[in-house]
Amino acid sequence: MSFQYKNYFQKRTKPLGPRANEKIRSQEVQVISSDGTNLGTLSTREAINIAKREGLDLIEISPNANPPVCKIIDIGKYKYDLQKKANKAKKKQKIINLKEIKLRPVTEIHDYNFKIKNAKKFLEKGDKVKFTVKFKGREMQHTHLGNELMDRIIKDTSELGKIEIEPKFEGKQIIMIIQPL
């Protein structure tokens, strides 16, 4: 029984970044110069020579076009700009978390107020809040207490959030999700 290492320690197959210079596969490319003017369709060899004369690289910007679009720029600067653009897009994303608050139908008023205060804090931050009212044993005969509790929660959080998922029974619990306004 022989174990072959060559498949386990293979090199990375996916290239890092766009194709540049000699790695461009097509015979002809649409070339955009370093100052942004369109030089037209040239052979790849000729385009690489123009780039080398300027001391820059020929980078494939749009590989799926026919012929592929290439630009004469410094590859380091191009990768830096792509990274900056990706970081800017990542900053603009708003991540919404789902916070869960668990209650019981016999939750005392002080505990209820404390949990509602936390729910309001979550809603102000922009997070969704999932309320779960759990029933145990004989409490299942008094589901109206859970429904009343959910109605009170809706009333208390109405100025900060609206109902995304109406209160519904799932097994031995009532679940409701409130999203920020």
Q: Which CATH number fits domain 98-180: 3.40.50.1370, 3.30.110.10, 3.20.20.140, 3.40.50.720?
A: 3.30.110.10
Contact 105, 142 (CB under 8 A): yes
Distance (Å, rounded) from C-alpha 16 to C-alpha 140? Answer: 59
Query: Could you list the pLDDT tens digit for every one of the 181 residues in the chain?
Result: 555 555 666 666 665 678 888 888 888 899 998 888 888 888 889 989 989 988 898 998 888 888 889 999 998 888 898 899 989 888 888 778 899 999 999 999 999 999 999 999 999 998 999 999 999 999 889 889 999 999 999 999 999 999 999 999 998 999 999 999 8
Phi, psi of 108 (to 5 degrees): -70, 160
Q: Helices 143-156 and 109-125 meet at what angle, rounded to 10?
A: 50
Long-range CB contacts for residues 147-153, cutoff 8 Å, separation at least 24 = 147/174, 149/103, 149/105, 149/107, 149/112, 150/174, 150/176, 152/112, 153/116, 153/119, 153/178
Q: Which amino acid is at 112?
A: Y
Distance (Å, rounded) from C-alpha 181 to C-alpha 126? Answer: 8
Residue 93 pLDDT: 80
Residue 12 pLDDT: 63
Superfamily name and number for 21-85: Translation initiation factor 3 (IF-3), N-terminal domain (3.10.20.80)
List, for residues 45-59, the tens digit of each pLDDT value.
998 998 998 889 899
Q: Where are the alpha helices (DSSP H) in 71-108?
A: 75-92
Bridge-based pairing of strands 98-103 and 38-43 is: unpaired
List, for residues 19-39, the tens digit of each pLDDT value.
888 888 888 899 998 888 888
Residue 174 pLDDT: 94
Equal fold, 21-85 vs 98-180: no
Give me the DSSP letters along 5-69.
-TTTTPPP-S-SSS-BGGG---SEEEEE-TTS-EEEEEEHHHHHHHHHHHT-EEEEEETTSSSPE
Distance (Å, rounded) from C-alpha 175 to C-alpha 130? Answer: 7
Residue 65 pLDDT: 85
Residue 178 pLDDT: 94
Q: Where are the domains of the chain?
A: 21-85, 98-180
Residue 37 pLDDT: 87
